[in-house]
């Protein structure tokens, strides 16, 4: 039996922090990076009804050999979009363990997706990097939100003394970060969820997530054809867990 690729943005790269502070309020430095983040944006799919590159997939794409074997796999994709909106390339940032499936997944993205370019903090076009998992899952339905979060290693994992009232055991937020050519994050904002996104939304956690991303997160920069590293806007994910 086939299944759809998941549509919850989840990315990876472990780190652990302990926070013991209010979940709201901004200091002056936070206000500065929030202002800078106002104009930055990731590459936007230009030919899809939702702002998620995984919308290019359908159940018809499910590989027959995976269905026959009853095997589920996840490919963590990294798609680099150039300042003119064209795709420079797609790779498996974390392999599914099946190189054929890795290549097949990226080939669909490259063949079908079309983008408006990413924008730097001043609104100018810049390289963008979209890092999302595509899950080829065999089952009776998608995993629960908590199951999906527990199976994912985020970019940052933060321990807090309390979570928002409507959160469960884990709360996750997605970010769009501007990083210089060395991979240092210089600006950060929320990656807005789609209007019909099934996940919970925690805007009150964005200031903490961005504060820690600015302090500690380093991303891999894209490179031009000569091998020169470049500044970029990239996806990042943060999970919050209770510290007890």
pLDDT of residue 65: 92
How many other CB atoms sit within 10 Å of the CB of residue 151? 12
State the Cα–Cα distance between residues 90 and 151, nearest whole angstrom: 23
pLDDT of residue 20: 35
How far is the CA of 4 from the CAs of 56, 144, 170, 241, in angstroms? 11, 14, 24, 28
Domains of the chain: 16-242 (3.30.2420.10)
Tens-level pLDDT at each residue, the chain (244 residues): 443 333 232 333 332 323 333 444 444 444 444 444 557 889 988 887 777 898 899 889 999 999 899 888 899 999 999 999 999 999 999 999 999 999 999 999 999 999 999 999 999 999 999 998 898 988 766 666 666 656 677 899 998 888 888 787 888 889 999 999 999 999 999 987 766 555 678 888 999 999 999 999 999 999 999 999 999 999 998 999 887 6
Contact of 6 with 133, CB cutoff 8 Å: yes
DSSP state of 54: G
């Amino acid at each position: 039996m086939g299944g759809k690729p998941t549509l919850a943005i989840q990315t990876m790269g472990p780190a652990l922090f302990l926070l013991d502070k209010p979940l709201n309020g901004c200091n002056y430095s936070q206000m500065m990076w929030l202002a800078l983040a106002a104009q930055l944006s990731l590459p936007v799919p230009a030919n899809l009804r939702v702002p998620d590159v995984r919308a290019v997939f359908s159940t018809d794409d499910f590989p027959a050999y995976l269905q026959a074997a009853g095997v589920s796999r996840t490919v963590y994709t990294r798609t680099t979009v150039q300042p003119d909106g064209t795709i420079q390339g797609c790779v498996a940032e974390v392999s599914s363990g099946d190189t054929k499936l890795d290549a097949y997944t990226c080939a669909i993205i490259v063949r079908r997706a079309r983008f408006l370019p990413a924008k730097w903090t001043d609104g100018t076009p810049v390289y963008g990097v979209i890092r999302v998992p595509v899950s080829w899952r065999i089952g009776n339905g998608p995993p629960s939100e908590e199951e999906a979060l527990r199976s994912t290693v985020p970019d940052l994992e933060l321990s807090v003394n309390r979570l928002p009232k409507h959160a469960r055991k884990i709360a996750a937020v997605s970010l769009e970060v501007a990083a210089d050519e060395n991979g240092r994050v210089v600006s950060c904002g929320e990656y807005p969820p789609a209007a019909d996104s099934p996940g919970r939304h925690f805007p009150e956690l964005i200031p903490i997530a961005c504060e820690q991303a600015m302090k500690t997160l380093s991303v891999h920069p894209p490179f031009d054809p000569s091998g020169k590293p470049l500044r970029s806007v990239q996806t990042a994910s943060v999970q919050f867990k209770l510290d007890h």
